[in-house]
Structure 1
């Protein structure tokens, strides 16, 4: 009896060590590729099998081969995040936009961007707030706009980035990550212009002491899970910082004027109010209503589904992205959980329902049976209007649940929303192609 108990304990320890090594490896890869471990990855660290899939997809659409130039990709991400006033993602992609050679003037406002990017504004707001309005005419407008027209391959990559960032906004607000990154109206108390709010979370040792020491609440949220090899991470961060300081010193000695320009560009990041990238700010989520008009008809999965239609189309138009997205959808629904598969399915189908998507073979009575009212209110808010209150309160019925389970809930919301936006867009592209 004692031996059996010892073996079970031993297995648990081995499982814990494997989890620890997997998370550490993922974070080390993030440090090598980006020089930092962002707050979103830290939140997802309790589900490393999903985090790996998420990071793989995000890296592919933002950094790997594709029809869109890198500055365009990050600017599209800025446009998407701005629709939900997500300071965290706007700052993050503004910094990356400049690092890949983006024109800092584009960060002044949306009107400063090239006309081709501004053409995406309409489908950006439609997908973010009322995706059921997505129509074949929107695709036709973008593909036949004279000198500013988009190719179909470019448009598909742009839409994937838009949908990815819209849904990521839901996760950011659901996990309360954005609340720590309030806009700065000016550089506070002599803060160097190269400082941006997310630097403190990324191990930037040049951050002023007054800003580098966050409140107890922020410290707790920003701290990594106890299973992470902090010593290894700190050594890597320190090494990266030393290399960056050495490069900066050389740059100061040889290119003073260029350094001045860089400082001015970084200041633009800190001043980048998301509202400057938004047109028609009153356009927002409205209750989906079943009406006679064509554009309000219920989207029936039996007529157009991800498995039978969307996956093959998007994989053909944007090589390999279908496999990466499909892996994300499968990963989030198969994560080990204290909650039953029926509950996870009810959450997924409820999100699709409030976005106008219905499953004919599903009994929606289960939604009311399995999801308490406060949970439904929370899910709908995070999925449809995540920035409405700026702070999403976890439903009371989930308060006793472990943080990893609450994160799993937010991951389900994010992925269900992502799939919904893609389904509406891919159906519109299909209609355009057969018209």
Structure 2
């Protein structure tokens, strides 16, 4: 009967960007089901996020251990607080997917249902995190020791140092995880708000491979629908050439590195140049976020967002030089001292994703991809104003094409604006698992960058 409408899933499979067949095929190759069993036993579900991350099982194992420790193991914060902080952090990036997950977890942990009406209903102690939450999410370089002092010295609502470390690790974890969710096009779970729809697909939902192929490429090449096969072959040829050109640039850079090395002054100049050029890399103005009611009620000051670290005509904050405050020499030891084991877990996770390689690149095998991985990691840190004195930022322009830079900056800085077109627009001949690896690098480098700024502020407060 036409009077009765049956709701249908809003998306098919875990991701709106990655065909479900590819996820299943890659998952079958990996054949590492133990982590999925643990997740199901712990949470009662294997969510879409874990399924997509499962394309890289070594990383997923480390990620799951870290997240489980932060949420489930003994620690300074009560369990409902942990999930509420996850909600606050995810809401900053309009990530309804993670908000929905943690609303359920919050209630299962014995949280007060009234707090879910919005931030105004939460305890003042949690609401006091709002300022550092928005700074960590969007402009971490603005965090000072005064922000730390305000949280630690507010009478009955003050935070202990151990509690604050737990909170900022959770905040940065969920800010960066929101980037991964949007960067991989993770679909809502079936039981989430927005997971089913009675409506026909929206224009945004039609931003798919088939829509792109007809509208962008066929019309772009002056072809009618009869010419789709020709358009596909043109696209495939262009994508193949992009891979070969990237391989050639990597080889040339490796050879040049053996012949000569740039001076410290030259490398500093190249960093500043890359910072300035990042101003020109941004999503177009008409790609806006879609905020659902279940998200907006957890956000104060919603207009506050990312701004470029380097802005024309303005005095910019000083660059954070990695030699002055680094994860290896400073951040790791501080976290380990105040929240034991977490520093070790985070360090392992950073190391795994940074060094993760299958020695492949698109159709090529036996490739050393370390130069490419380092360029991706350091470009994200550059966007957040962090410089490595021993790195030649000229490599970034050589190795990262403009479409990839646009995608990376969007996922890192305003992930809610990520579109299928952006995802499809870079590395067109690479495997989806390789693009997921890019998202993992973005996620972890963003988290580390934010942690460096807040841990530096905590160090300054303590000294």
Shorter-chain TM range is 0.7 to 0.9
Name the CA distance, whole Å, in 1 between partners of 2:110 and 2:185.
Answer: 31
* CA gap 1:336/1:145 in 2 versus in 1, 3 angstroms: same
1:1-50, CA deviations, whole angstroms, 9 ceiling, x for partnerless residues? xxxxxxxxxxxxxx998831x2x111111111111101110001111000
Q: Which runs of 4+ in 1 moved over 6 A?
A: 15-18, 290-295
Decide which of 404, 407, 411 is 1:375's aligned counterpart.
404
1:95-122, CA deviations, whole angstroms, 9 ceiling, x for partnerless residues? 0000010000000010000000000000
User: What's the counterpart of residue 136 of structure 1?
Assistant: 145
Name stretches of at least 5 consecutive residues in structure 1 with no aligned partner.
1-14, 183-194, 201-207, 212-216, 221-270
User: What's the counterpart of residue 99 of structure 1?
Assistant: 108
User: What's the counterpart of residue 124 of structure 1?
Assistant: 133
- 1:366 has 2:375 as partner: no
Superposed CA RMSD: 2.7
1:15-414 equivalences under 5 Å are: 19-20=30-31, 22=32, 24-178=33-187, 180=188, 195-197=191-193, 273-289=294-310, 296-337=317-358, 338-339=360-361, 340-389=369-418, 393-394=422-423, 396-414=425-443
User: What's the counterpart of residue 426 of structure 1?
Assistant: 455
Name the CA distance, whole Å, in 2 between partners of 1:309 and 1:293.
Answer: 30
CA contact (8 A) 2:331 2:456 kept: yes
Secondary structure of the equivalent of 2:377?
helix
* CA gap 1:106/1:159 in 2 versus in 1, 3 angstroms: same
* CA gap 1:404/1:170 in 2 versus in 1, 3 angstroms: same
CA contact (8 A) 1:290 1:296 kept: no
Q: Which moved more, 1:68-77 or 1:285-294?
A: 285-294
CA contact (8 A) 2:135 2:143 kept: yes
1:195-231, CA deviations, whole angstroms, 9 ceiling, x for partnerless residues? 534888xxxxxxx9x89xxxxx99x9xxxxxxxxxxx
The CA deviation at 1:392 is 6.7
* CA gap 1:384/1:28 in 2 versus in 1, 3 angstroms: same
* CA gap 1:31/1:387 in 2 versus in 1, 3 angstroms: same
More helix by share: 1
Name the CA distance, whole Å, in 2 between partners of 1:71 and 1:276.
Answer: 18
Name the CA distance, whole Å, in 1 between partners of 2:440 and 2:426.
Answer: 18
TM-score norm. by structure 1 comes to 0.74
- Give the total of aligned pairs: 342
CA contact (8 A) 1:375 1:395 kept: no
